[in-house]
Amino acid sequence: MPLKSLTALVALAIAVFAAPLQADEAPVAQLPMNTVAAPLADAIPLVNPAARLAQSVLPANPSALLQSAAQSTPVDAVTDLRKTLIDLAMTLRHIRYVRGGRDPSTGFDCSGFVRYVFAHAVGLHLPSNSAAQFLAGLKVNRKDMQPGDLVFFHTRGKKRISHVGIYLDNGRFIHSPSAGKSVEVSSLDEAYWAKRFAGARRPEGIAQNG
C-alpha cells in the first residue's frame, strides 16, 4: 500500500475514534424544556391551559362563588310575607277574647285579631268585620290554601259569615274563638269547624305577590 494511502487511512481512523471522546469531554449544552416550550405555549394558548386559567378572574376563596350565588338569588317575598304573619299571630296566643276587641292590651274578637296581625305584620289594612274580610279576598280552594290565607265559618247560620281565622298548615288555623276563650290553634278537621267551614280567601295584598 502506498505511503500516502496508509497515512490517510490512519488519519481517518484517528478522527473516527477521537470524535466520541471529544463529545464526552465537551457535551453540547441543552436548553431546559421550559425555555423552549414557554414561547410556543404563549403563542398557542391551548397548549398552556394553566396560563389561560391564571388569566381568568376567580375569587381567592372558592366558597365565595356559593356566597355570591346565594346573595344574587332573590328571596321569595311571598314566603317571607306569610312567615311574618304567622310569627306574629303565634305570639298572640292566649290573648283573651273580647267582643269588639282590636288590641292585645284589651283582647280580641275574631276579626279584630286578624285585622291586627295583618296591619302590624305586613301593613295591610283589612275590613273591620269577618263578612267584609270574606268579600275583600280572592277565593282559594281548600287544597290550595297556604299559610296566611284566611279561613271563614258560618257560626250563626249558613247565610252569613260570622267567624274568621288565619290558616297555618296541615288543616290548622289560629283564631280568637269566643267569649271565655283565648287566641288558640284549632283544626279544620274538628267536627265543629268542619261542619261550619265556609271557605278560604287570600287577601289582595298577599295575592298580588303571587
Q: Is 120 a catalytic residue?
A: no
How far apart (Å, rounded) are the C-alpha atoms in residues 160 and 10?
A: 131
Spell out the long-range contacts of 55-61 with Cβ–Cβ below 8 A and sequence spacing 24 or more. Answer: none
Q: Of these residues, 94, 120, 154, 163, which one is catalytic?
A: 163
Q: Of these residues, 94, 125, 154, 175, which one is catalytic?
A: 175
Q: Of these residues, 94, 110, 120, 125, which one is catalytic?
A: 110
How far apart (Å, rounded) are the C-alpha atoms in residues 48 and 20?
A: 38
Handedness of CA 152, 189, 78, 182 (dihedral sign): positive
Terminal Cα-to-Cα distance of the chain (whole angstroms): 113
Q: Largest alpha-carbon pair distance within the chain?
A: 144
Question: Letter for the amino acid at 61?
Answer: N
Q: Is 163 a catalytic residue?
A: yes
Residues marked active site are found at 110, 163, 175
